[in-house]
Chains A and B, each alone.
Chain A
Amino acid sequence: MSAANSAHSVVEPSLSSKRIAGTIVVLYALITLIPLVWIFLTSIKSPPDSISYPPKIVFTPSLEGYCNLFTTRTRQTPDYIASLPAPVGTCDEVTRKRNMVIAGPSNFLPRFVNSLVIAFGSTFLAVFLGTLAAYGFSRFKIPLADDLMFFILSTRMMPPIAVAIPIYLMYRELGLSDTAFGMILLYTAVNVSLAVWLLKGFIDEIPREYEEAAMIDGYTRLQAFRKVVLPQATTGIAATAIFCLIFAWNEYAFAALLTSGEAQTAPPFIPTIIGEGGQDWPAVAAGTTIFLIPILVFTILLRKQLLRGITFGAVRK
């Protein structure tokens, strides 16, 4: 990389300016990371450690947060606990030390699964519909194409709460309230506008000549689309999918208003984790950590596509 840049040595920044820039950026990055590191550290603290003052940086790690996240517990008398057979597994042991027994699983896992189903379902649909529409807008003369594209974008300007009122009523009529399918449809609609915009740009970059050549060779339009355009748009489709996924994974407002139980996703659920005497911070931190990990992995693995997708709109228009 640096070899390519040295071609214009006149404007290549000096070594000392690089060093200063690097130091400031690294400092900023480290400060930015503190809350995230703290979330993780809290998730492996025992509840008393998590709320001690001054905040504990050195502590004995504990799995209590994760145990509390995945189970519900009931308080029992020490006598009763002593009368129980030996604990099975770490969580059982940890729980009994606090004079409690595990009563059953918590709602976290189903909520997490809801998040997975809704996020991936809506991403798939949004990218599928978005790719088709983007190709349509990119290659055909659509009447009022500019207006339609602007209309598609403008659907994102509404505050979610504003759309939520009529959608709430509509879903109530249609029996879609608190269903995963309803949420998938909703997130698909929100994401499809982004998908069309992003993908149109990617598909615009693929020369039309490829399809034309393929069609002269006897392909139908659909075949040309499938066998020539789609393979070349893969990077763009991947970038778009990540954005849709991140949105659907992280969305809170619609989820909080339109789901209450069955179809609730993790973002509205995690803040409701309450322990004895207020929020159970290690459990909240554990839930947060588990919830953040997939996105963290995505960000690091796919950063090139992400960079392209984010800056894309800016570079283009």
Chain B
Amino acid sequence: MTISHSSIVEKAADATARATPSSVARRVRGLSDRAIAWLFIAPAITLLLAINIFPLLWAVYLSFTNYRANRPNAPVVGVGFGNYQRVLNDPDIWQAMQTTAHFVFWTIVLQTVIGFTLAYLIDRKFRGHAFWTTIILIPMMLSPAVVGNFWRFLYEPQIGLFAYAVSLVTGIPTSDIQMLGNVTLAPWAIIIVDTWMWTPYVMLICLAGLRSIPDYIYEAAEVDRASPWRQFWSITVPMALPFIMLAVLFRGIENFKMFDMVTLLTGGGPGSITEVASITLKRAAFESWATGRASAFAIILFVAVFGLANIYVKALNKVKQR
């Protein structure tokens, strides 16, 4: 399927030549560019407005009311910033934010370290590296919900492969390896699955970064007799840093929204130890039916991600400009 660039050019030239009847070379141009520009962009923008922006504005409106989706006929009363006040003063929500931050932090650390290491090793271009790269990519192509559900089985202390393997290696009895039932282990159970799934993604972006470093820089360093260690820290890491930071940004945004895997693995439990923001939000919206309050929380979350992402992108741009 890959077409070389020169053949593209030839094909285009060929197609152009064949499809141009000289007699009608000067026919009416049809629509003006301006009309076409609109025609091309309008459908996508309209859809986004209808399915993203309109609901978002609706959520903003709802966040100032006491509306409950399970009582559509009850009178709707504006409550000003009451919902926001309640959300921001709710210790459970702060707990959920903390849990989310904990997940985001550890998944990013693990995925970046392992992902970059793998990318660095794959960049050695050993025999069969393309094949093994593809194998490593498989987990990230799968459904987090479906795979998360199956990991629940792997984690079962009495029958699961994970507990068995850990017990085999460490000698700890399997009854003590309650990955999903134990308050200290449950968050790590999720972090492990997320890392298993998404390390390949970080790896790929890091690989793109490493491949973008021109060889002549290393050649120059080699001439200057820089040690491999020195080359790694003075060339490889700084040059790949913008890419690593991008991977961190993408994973950060995604994991801030983490929902499916947690729902299927622990459902937020045991207790509420793995209850991330999305799960709290889902409970408020679709179990307590406190639509107004849930909307306020949703808006706060959105502003938080948006704000953090913006600050981060500014930092990223500074790094790139160096």
Binding stretch for chain A, among B84-92, B177-185, B253-261: B253-261
A163 to B302, CA, bound (A): 10
A81 CB-CB contact with B under 8 Å: no
Chain A, 54-77, CB within 8 A of any chain B CB: 54-55
With both chains docked as a complex, state the minimum distance between the C-beta of B303 and any C-beta of chain A, in angstroms.
Answer: 10
B109 CB-CB contact with A under 8 Å: no
Determine if A161 and B282 form an interchain contact, defined as CB atoms under 8 angstroms apart.
yes
The answer, among A218, A299, A304, A314, for a CB contact under 8 Å with B26, is A218
A-B contact count (CB 8 A): 351
Binding stretch for chain B, among A88-96, A97-105, A290-298: A290-298
A52 to B132, CA, bound (A): 32
Which residues of the partner chain A approach B291 to less than 8 Å between Cβ atoms? Answer: 165, 169
A304 to B260, CA, bound (A): 28
Chain B, 253-311, CB within 8 A of any chain A CB: 253, 256-257, 259-260, 263-264, 277-278, 281-282, 285-286, 291, 294-295, 298-299, 301-302, 305-306, 309
Determine if B208 and A311 form an interchain contact, defined as CB atoms under 8 angstroms apart.
yes
Determine if A162 and B143 form an interchain contact, defined as CB atoms under 8 angstroms apart.
no
The answer, among B40, B125, B253, for a CB contact under 8 Å with A136, is B40
The answer, among B59, B212, B286, for a CB contact under 8 Å with A162, is B59
The answer, among A154, A163, A218, A307, for a CB contact under 8 Å with B20, is A218
Smallest Cβ-Cβ distance to A14: which chain B residue: B124
Which residues of the partner chain B approach A291 to less than 8 Å between Cβ atoms? Answer: 143, 146
A84 CB-CB contact with B under 8 Å: no
B58 CB-CB contact with A under 8 Å: yes
Interface size class of B (residues with CB under 8 A): 35 or more
The answer, among B56, B126, B147, B160, for a CB contact under 8 Å with A288, is B147
Which residues of the partner chain B approach A135 to less than 8 Å between Cβ atoms? Answer: 40
A13 CB-CB contact with B under 8 Å: yes
With both chains docked as a complex, state the minimum distance between the C-beta of A86 and any C-beta of chain B, in angstroms.
Answer: 35
| 0/1 interface trace, chain B 156-200, chain A, CB 8 Å (1 if under) | 001111001000000000100000000000000000000010001
How many chain A residues touch B (Cβ–Cβ < 8 Å)?
124
| 0/1 interface trace, chain B 106-137, chain A, CB 8 Å (1 if under) | 00000000100010011011111110111111
A221 CB-CB contact with B under 8 Å: yes
For the residues of A in contact with B, the DSSP-based class is: helix
When A189-B51, A214-B20 are in contact, do A35 and B137 touch as well, CB less than 8 Å? no
A83 to B282, CA, bound (A): 51
The answer, among B141, B204, B278, for a CB contact under 8 Å with A161, is B278
B36 CB-CB contact with A under 8 Å: yes
Chain A, 221-270, CB within 8 A of any chain B CB: 221-223, 227-228, 231-232, 234-235, 238, 246, 249-253, 256-257, 266-268, 270
A271 to B145, CA, bound (A): 8
When A32-B138, A165-B295, A189-B47 are in contact, do A136 and B259 touch as well, CB less than 8 Å? no
A42 CB-CB contact with B under 8 Å: yes
The answer, among A190, A257, A300, for a CB contact under 8 Å with B282, is A257
B230 CB-CB contact with A under 8 Å: no
A240 to B291, CA, bound (A): 35
Q: Return 5 A-B CB contacts under 8 Å, by A number.
A: A148-B45, A158-B52, A166-B59, A270-B146, A292-B143
- Other than A235-B2, A292-B142, give 16 A-B pairs with Cβ distance below 8 A: A18-B126, A21-B121, A22-B127, A50-B159, A133-B45, A152-B44, A157-B302, A158-B305, A163-B55, A165-B285, A218-B24, A220-B28, A231-B15, A253-B260, A270-B149, A299-B141
